[in-house]
Every structure is written in structure tokens, then in C-alpha cells.
């Protein structure tokens, strides 16, 4: 896994460009990774529904759940599918719209200074071994570009939006990720 020469893109991964992003505020250094969990429809894997959500083309009539999220304007930088495939939606130097109302270490608006990584999965189902390996590899790579991301600066969506979000959920093995990152 490698970054493009400008550091904005992963080389050799599928790109699906999301319109749901904008410029980061001036002088805002990336110093946080937010891990998310997603499946669309809930509990189902595969297909193009996540791409459709992040690109504002989700068909609200295709599933009853979709009607509840069809107007959402959201994105993430990267999705790691169950089989380990990476999909990048937003370049790392831009602000993806993944965190919503959020706060980390006293700083609000986490989208401004974070990178959002979605894992295809759900709160109470174990994530796949390949997803942990890909996530750890991606975080190691991002740390070469963004050295402000410290060992404690890798959090779940639930950590920055408690009471509002639960992902990546209790099935996510933080100890396993820290071990893969060499920080256990």
C-alpha cells in the first residue's frame, strides 16, 4: 500500500469520488483517525449501496431502511470491505463528512482534523482478520504522512459522538488493532 506523490490518494485502490467533502480549515493539521462500521442495508454486505450513499444516489425505495437515510450527505475517506478491498472516496487532504457533531480531547468538529475509515460490518458482529490487517497497514501509512496521529489518536465513532453513535461497536477488537500497530 502506497500513497500518491501528493499524499492525497492511495495507489492501486478503487476510487469512487464523493461530492460530500470540502476543504479543511486553514492551518488544521490531521491528528485523528476515526474508525466507523457500516453495512447497507443493516446486516447485509457487498453491493454498491455504500458507494451510492456516499455519492448521494441511494434509492430510497430500494429498501425500507434507505428511506430513513436517503437525504444524508455523508462520506468517509476510505471503506475497508469484509474481504479486505479498499475503496477511497475522499482525498486525505480534504475534509470528509463522516463524524457529524463530535468532540475529541476538547476539540469539536472532528471532521476538520480527522480521517474517517469505514469498516464494512456492524456493532455486534466480529470484523474480519483481513479488515484488521488492512486497517493497521493504512494507519501506519497515514502516520508517515500525518505524524500528529499518535497511539491514542485512533478512536471509534462512538468515542467522539457518545450517546449518538455506537460504531464500530463492542465486536471491534481494539486490543487486536493496537497489537497490529505495535502499541499493545
DSSP state of 3: B
**In the predicted model, is pLDDT for residue 164 greater than 60?**
yes
Distance (Å, rounded) from C-alpha 174 to C-alpha 35?
10
**In the predicted model, is pLDDT for residue 99 greater than 90?**
yes
Distance (Å, rounded) from C-alpha 15 to C-alpha 54?
12
Asked whether the beta carbons of 90 and 21 are under 8 A apart, the reply is yes
Q: At the fourth CATH level, which superfamily is domain 14-180? A: Peptidoglycan recognition protein-like (3.40.80.10)
Q: Which residues are catalytic?
A: 118
**In the predicted model, is pLDDT for residue 184 greater than 60?**
no
Q: What digits encode the pLDDT tens for the residues 124-145?
A: 999 999 999 999 999 999 999 9
Q: 102-114 burial by CB neighbour count: b if 16+ within 10 A, else e?
A: bebeeeebbbbbb
Q: Distance from CA of residue 126 to its chain's centroid?
A: 17
Each domain of the chain, given as residue ranges in start order, spans 14-180
Instruction: Provide the pLDDT for residue 70.
Output: 87
Q: What percent of the chain has pLDDT over 90?
A: 97
Instruction: Provide the pLDDT for residue 13.
Output: 98
Amino acid at each position: 500500500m502506497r500513497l500518491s506523490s501528493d499524499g492525497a490518494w492511495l495507489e492501486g485502490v478503487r476510487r469512487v469520488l464523493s461530492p460530500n467533502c470540502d476543504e479543511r480549515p486553514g492551518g488544521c493539521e490531521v491528528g485523528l483517525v476515526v474508525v466507523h462500521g457500516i453495512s447497507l442495508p443493516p446486516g447485509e454486505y457487498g453491493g454498491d449501496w455504500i458507494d451510492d450513499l456516499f455519492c448521494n444516489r441511494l434509492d430510497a425505495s430500494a429498501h425500507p431502511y434507505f428511506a430513513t437515510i436517503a437525504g444524508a450527505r455523508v462520506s468517509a475517506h476510505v471503506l475497508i470491505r469484509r474481504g479486505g478491498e479498499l475503496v477511497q472516496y475522499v482525498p486525505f487532504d480534504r475534509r470528509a463528512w463522516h463524524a457529524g457533531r463530535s468532540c475529541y480531547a476538547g476539540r469539536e468538529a472532528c471532521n476538520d482534523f480527522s480521517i474517517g475509515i469505514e469498516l464494512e460490518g456492524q456493532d455486534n458482529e466480529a470484523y474480519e482478520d483481513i479488515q484488521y490487517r488492512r486497517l493497521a497497514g493504512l494507519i501506519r501509512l497515514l502516520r508517515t504522512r500525518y505524524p500528529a496521529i499518535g497511539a491514542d489518536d485512533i478512536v471509534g465513532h462512538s468515542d467522539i459522538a457518545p450517546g449518538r453513535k455506537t460504531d464500530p461497536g463492542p465486536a471491534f477488537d481494539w486490543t487486536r488493532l493496537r497489537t497490529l500497530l505495535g502499541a499493545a
